[in-house]
Amino acid sequence: MRGAVTLAGAFSIPYVLQNGSPFPERDLMIFLAAIVILLSLAVASVLLPLLARKKAAPGTSGEQAQKRHVRIQVLEAAIQALKTEQNQENGHAASSVIADYTRSRSLTLRIIPAASEPQERTVLGSHSRRTG
């Protein structure tokens, strides 16, 4: 669809003028329109990916670490809530969800560099605990 309007405009140029003589340089205009379309597509395909490769903003890694810590806290709170609400009726389903959340928490912990992980944290009313 790119260039369709440009090429349609070039093709809309009449073959002949009102006096019957051929329209001057009609073929050249169509050729130039096609070249402009092809070049713009090629340049966009090559240059845009190169320009898009930009380094992350300076605060991004800190924000990502903070998001990971929040994710861990949410997962721990969810696990604790599931354990509290677990009973005979929902035992199997709750155990399955707890296992998934525990696995997800473990994977998130592996991503966090040891230096950025806080030494103590609390989870919704639970006591502080050491993590290392």
Domain ranges of the chain: 4-52, 60-125
More confident residue, 122 or 80: 80
- 27-67 pLDDT, tens digit each: 999 999 999 999 999 988 888 888 887 665 565 677 888 88
H or E segment and range at residue 130:
strand 129-130
The residues near 37 (Cβ < 8 Å, ≥ 6 apart) are 2, 3, 6, 7
Residue length of the chain: 132
- 94-130 pLDDT, tens digit each: 899 999 988 888 888 776 554 444 444 444 444 444 4
Query: What pLDDT is attached to residue 91?
Result: 87
Q: Coil, strand or helix: which one is 24?
A: coil
Is 121 within 8 Å of 73 (Cβ atoms)?
yes
